[in-house]
Structure 1
Amino acid sequence: MQKNFLLYLLILCQNLYFSQSIKGFRIPDSLDNKSFEQLERPFEKNLYNNKAKAEIYANTVLSKGKKNKNDEKIANGYLMLHRLANDKSALLYLDSMIAVSKKMQNSDYLANGNMYKGNYYYAKGEYSKALASNLAAINYAKKNSKTYYILNFNIGLLKLELKEYQQSIQLFLNYKQYLERNNAERSLDYVSCIYALAYTYSQANDIDSSNKYVELGLKKSYEMNDGECQANLFLVSGINAYKRKKYGSALKILRKASKLIKDNSYNPQNLAISEYYIGKILYDNNDDSFLNTLQTVDSIIIETKNVTSELRDAYPILIDHYKKIGDKEKQLLYIEHLLSVDSILNKNNNFLTAEINKKYDTPLLLKEKEILISDLSSKNYTLFWILGIGGIIIICLFYLYDKNRRKVKAYQSKADLLTKSSIYPDITEITDLPFKENLDFQKEKSKATLSDYKLRQLSLQLEEFEIENRFLDKKVNLDILSKEFNTNRAYLSKSVNELKGQNFSQYLNELRIRYIVNELKTDKSLQKLTIAAIADKAGYNNAESFTNAFKKMTDTLPSYFIKALQENSN
């Protein structure tokens, strides 16, 4: 339908004008010393208002580029001239630009050159060449660049010809989101994209979505004072009203759209569409003026050689009308036109179906397949490592569990053995409890280095210390005890080593642990206390130091020993 309009608004929103050739052109003296920037800026300024002046700037850029052997500026000059041309010279300028771009090996210029070439062919209805050029451009375009999104938008237009509405909509939405991310909502490109969405939703019979974009597009076009976009959006609005069988409103809106298009020489194909729907409404209401509108549609198609599937439907109506009134010549004429239209549509559709599938959809699917395979491989690799690490963790946990189980079993065994040993009320006689050998309370004397008298005296004092259970005093230490025994710290320490076969700390811990073991065996009420309370009774400041000493002396823990005592008692 509105193919040409979409392209006019796309890609730098080029206007098509007649252009003179650079042949015989002489740079004006006033521009001879101007920089390229000073030439390109006024070109853009005059492009839509004064094509003659813009053409001088374009030719000057091209001439100075050739003179300075600046390939980039030569390519720019050809592109500028292309934007001013609407005849075959437009294509020649693009071919020249692409040739220079290949020489430069500049992918950006090659992408843009082929993109413009695709737009030229699309406007002429040569879809096979349009597709080829757009696909060539995609090969050069940088992913996620503006050119990349525009090219995919153009593919969406071609898919629209095949009535692949959902795929077209997705490509148009991608471009819309790109423009919004780049704050380009007040550009002609954005309005063009909104128009494409409005029309495609209408063709897909999603009228609510279509009208939403019509409303947005009209708002933007009024802000930008763009009459052509307004005319085309009115056209979509009229089609939507027709589809909802609001024929009065549809006729009014469509006639407004047709007048705007005619008065301003806008896109003739959209005029054909507008006149077609007007003709349909008149025909359905038995208004003979439908004939003039449908004949207008035919004349536009014959002149432009550009047709859509909906415009084709004008011909059966014309053929049927002339058949009814017996005008065989006109009937034959429109049959021939219908056959010509079908030939164009079949050729375009068959080609597009095959080529888009082969050169656009299939590569995309293959690329998606590669991404999925890569993603799955990555996930499998990650899963392999997760399983491997998980396996190691499980093995480690199992090892720790087994080690802990063995340790618990050992604690239980030692605790059980400790409960079965004899109970002695006198701490000095407790010599056969199952304590660790290296800490066994044996009074093997090392070679004496102290006087026998003093040693015997200290031995009696230590015996008294043990009988009176003074080792349960939390404050007792080597310094305090040496003062009580009227000796010095070093002398007492050496005496304990010789008399008890261990240092003072070991001696003190053994006394306390032997005492509390005996107490736990004989006093069931003590078994009901907390470990901290039991530690306090054994002369320890905290449960941790008590537990550590108990474990070191017995190879089990207080909790296991108490549990074993309770089980044996039961």
Structure 2
Amino acid sequence: MMKFIYPILLLLGNLIYAQNELTDSLKEYSFLDLKVKFDDYYYRDKTYESKLIAKYFLQKAKTEKNQSQIAEGYMLMQFDASFTNALKYIDSVQFFSENLDKKVYPAKIYLLRGNLHFKFDYLKDALNDYILALRYAKENKNERQIAFTELNIAFLQNYIGKYKEASKTFRYYLYNANSLYNVERDHIQQSLIDAYIALNKLDSSKVLIKRGIKSSLKNKDKYNYYKYLSLSGFYNVKTTNYKKAVEELLLCKTYFSADISDLNTNYTLFVLGKAYIGLQEKDHAIQSFIKIDSNVQKTDNTFPELREVYTYLIDYYKEKNDTEKQLYYIDRFLKVDKKLDEQFRYLSNELPKKYDTPNLLQEKENIISDLQTRKIILYISISILSTILFLLVYLYYKARKTEKQHRKIAQELIHSIEIRNTEILKSPQSPIQSTVIEQLDNEDKPNKIVSIDIAQSLLAELEIFEKKELFLKQGITLASLAKNIKTNTTYLSEVINTHKGKNFAAYLNDLRIDFALKRLVQDKKFRSYKLSVIAEELGYNNEQAFSLAFKKKTGTTLSVYIKEIDKI
């Protein structure tokens, strides 16, 4: 419906709003301040103030010989200029931007040309400019310029009735583009509302209209308030609430009619005429449509709904038998229809070729690329899962092999203990003294600190220590044992190292583990104890220390050892 809305204008790299009133002197403002104030006035339709700022901006840039700002100055000048002058200003922008940021130019030049052609109803040229702008913006990966170009192309799609495609673009950038500013979001939201009404998505349009009116009132933004109010009038015409539509649109007509070049003027008049038709007030509808024709002749800005305007005017004067005016509006219709038909046919043919098809091809490439990426990810995932599965299988078989080894060791230990018990039962025990003497006689006698007599005495004490199972007491140390058998740690340590073949810690640990091996085989009740209790019984401070000592000494685990005992 709203084919004659302004395109989104690319003004600043960074849009900020300033609310201060324009002062008599602009000397205190920087270039950025001046741009901010220009935007503030331009988007609120304050033409005089925006022209004044643009002129001062360009003069300041030339005085300071700032090439980039001169280009910006000419860009500001073209917004409120006639078509011919605006085109000259854009040529100046191009000239002064030749050595500037290639990420911004030349895409910005084509965007400006496209917007100018769009504004003055040269839609064929606008499309060609936008296609070039889009190409350069994509080459330079300028997301902001891509957004502006695609949004303006969406307006052209709207023009030829491709509301669904246009609404997708509007909706995407309204909700997903973080780089857009409030004034731009309002513009996009208004375009989306218009497309939704055309598509009869009235609930969605109503929500957005309420949001826009509320925001405009809050920000005291009169211009956007009346734009949303005119959309509300369009919504009420669609829902046959004609009386309310007329009330709203008359307010908008008063506001917008001050500037016939403002495309919202014709929009308001057209919807107002539709509302009067709904109320069967033909004379009022005719007045609105006659005013539209007058504006079109002055500005040469056309829109597709003009066919409906002239058809109604022709039929009205036919009923009145006013052949003169009937012929006049037939002539007007034919002229406008020719232009509209040329634009429509061109856009209908070129938009799919130059925009829709390339987009579909790019989308196809993206899908293929995405599928290839997913395929690679799938292969990697399969490889990782296969590796994990292999590792799990390997660890499983390794665990099975280790368990088998532990079971074999446990069985051998149990068997050796049974054999030893049998031998002990068959052979009489030797006196302690003779055993100790025999140990000393069989050993070499290198230079030692401990004499044979002392060594003999200490070995006898150690044998008593072993027979009485004193090694099961917790907290036994080399010092405490030496004190109990009335010797010193040096003598005791040497005797254990020399005659037992190990240090005191290993000697004590081996005694405990050997005792555990026998006790576990012989005592079913002992086997049923918790690990912590068994460890405490053997003189260990905790079960972890016992488990580690058992594994280190035997080569198997306590749990496997006990299982094998129970099996036997």
Same-fold status (TM-score > 0.5) = yes
Call closer, same or farther: CA 1:481–1:105 in 2, change over 3 Å. closer
Contact 2:253 2:269 survives alignment (8 Å): yes
Deviation for aligned residue 1:119: 1.8
- What CA distance in whole angstroms lies between the structure 2 residues aligned with 1:170 and 1:219? 24
What amino acid maps onto 1:168 in structure 2?
A
Call closer, same or farther: CA 1:318–1:548 in 2, change over 3 Å. closer
Contact 2:121 2:300 survives alignment (8 Å): yes
Matched, 1:89 2:88: no
- What CA distance in whole angstroms lies between the structure 2 residues aligned with 1:480 and 1:427? 34
TM-score (norm 2): 0.75
- What's 1:415 paired with? 410
- What CA distance in whole angstroms lies between the structure 2 residues aligned with 1:477 and 1:50? 99
Matched, 1:265 2:262: no
- What's 1:547 paired with? 547
Give the secondary-structure state (helix, strand or coil) at the position aligned to 1:313.
helix
Q: Counterparts of 1:462-477 in structure 2 under 5 Å?
A: 462-477=462-477
Q: Counterparts of 1:51-130 in structure 2 under 5 Å?
A: 57=56, 60=59, 64=63, 71-102=67-98, 104=100, 106-108=102-104, 110-130=106-126
- What CA distance in whole angstroms lies between the structure 2 residues aligned with 1:207 and 1:355? 31
- What's 2:431 paired with? none
- What CA distance in whole angstroms lies between the structure 2 residues aligned with 1:34 and 1:102? 30
- What's 2:48 paired with? 49
Give the secondary-structure state (helix, strand or coil) at the position aligned to 2:550.
helix
- What's 2:129 paired with? 133
- What CA distance in whole angstroms lies between the structure 2 residues aligned with 1:400 and 1:220? 65
- What CA distance in whole angstroms lies between the structure 2 residues aligned with 1:176 and 1:82? 27
| Aligned-residue identity in percent | 29
Deviation for aligned residue 1:479: 4.1
After superposition, the C-alpha distances for 1:91-121 in whole angstroms (9 at most, x for unaligned) are 1221232233235565535444332221221
- What's 1:17 paired with? none
- What CA distance in whole angstroms lies between the structure 2 residues aligned with 1:429 and 1:552? 30
- What's 1:347 paired with? 342
Q: Which moved more, 1:419-428 or 1:313-322?
A: 419-428
Contact 2:54 2:73 survives alignment (8 Å): no
After superposition, the C-alpha distances for 1:446-484 in whole angstroms (9 at most, x for unaligned) are 424476665555554444443333333345454444455
Call closer, same or farther: CA 1:349–1:468 in 2, change over 3 Å. same
Deviation for aligned residue 1:122: 0.8
- What's 1:400 paired with? 395
Q: Which moved more, 1:523-532 or 1:96-105?
A: 96-105
Contact 2:3 2:303 survives alignment (8 Å): no
Give the secondary-structure state (helix, strand or coil) at the position aligned to 1:205.
coil
Correspondent of 1:165 among 163, 166, 175: 163
- What's 1:245 paired with? 240
Matched, 1:519 2:519: yes
Give the secondary-structure state (helix, strand or coil) at the position aligned to 2:47.
coil
- What's 1:206 paired with? 201
Deviation for aligned residue 1:6: 2.8
Q: Counterparts of 1:503-518 in structure 2 under 5 Å?
A: 503-518=503-518
Structure 1 unaligned spans of 5+? 14-30, 432-441
Call closer, same or farther: CA 1:43–1:87 in 2, change over 3 Å. farther
Contact 2:90 2:112 survives alignment (8 Å): yes
Correspondent of 1:152 among 145, 150, 153: 150
Q: Counterparts of 1:291-306 in structure 2 under 5 Å?
A: 291=286, 293-301=288-296, 304-306=299-301
After superposition, the C-alpha distances for 1:242-268 in whole angstroms (9 at most, x for unaligned) are 221123333343344444444x13347
- What CA distance in whole angstroms lies between the structure 2 residues aligned with 1:503 and 1:250? 105
Deviation for aligned residue 1:123: 1.7
Structure 2 unaligned spans of 5+? 13-24, 428-437
Contact 1:39 1:57 survives alignment (8 Å): no
- What's 1:436 paired with? none
After superposition, the C-alpha distances for 1:468-521 in whole angstroms (9 at most, x for unaligned) are 333333454544444555555444444445554555544444433333333333
Contact 2:108 2:145 survives alignment (8 Å): yes
After superposition, the C-alpha distances for 1:262-283 in whole angstroms (9 at most, x for unaligned) are 4x13347544444444544555
- What CA distance in whole angstroms lies between the structure 2 residues aligned with 1:523 and 1:95? 106
Contact 2:47 2:80 survives alignment (8 Å): no
- What CA distance in whole angstroms lies between the structure 1 residues aligned with 2:49 and 2:260? 19
Contact 2:31 2:57 survives alignment (8 Å): no
Give the secondary-structure state (helix, strand or coil) at the position aligned to 2:236.
helix
- What's 1:18 paired with? none
Q: Counterparts of 1:247-326 in structure 2 under 5 Å?
A: 247-262=242-257, 264-267=258-261, 270-280=264-274, 282-283=276-277, 287=281, 289=283, 290-291=285-286, 293-301=288-296, 304-320=299-315
- What CA distance in whole angstroms lies between the structure 2 residues aligned with 1:34 and 1:483? 98
- What's 1:529 paired with? 529
Deviation for aligned residue 1:524: 2.0
TM-score (norm 1): 0.75
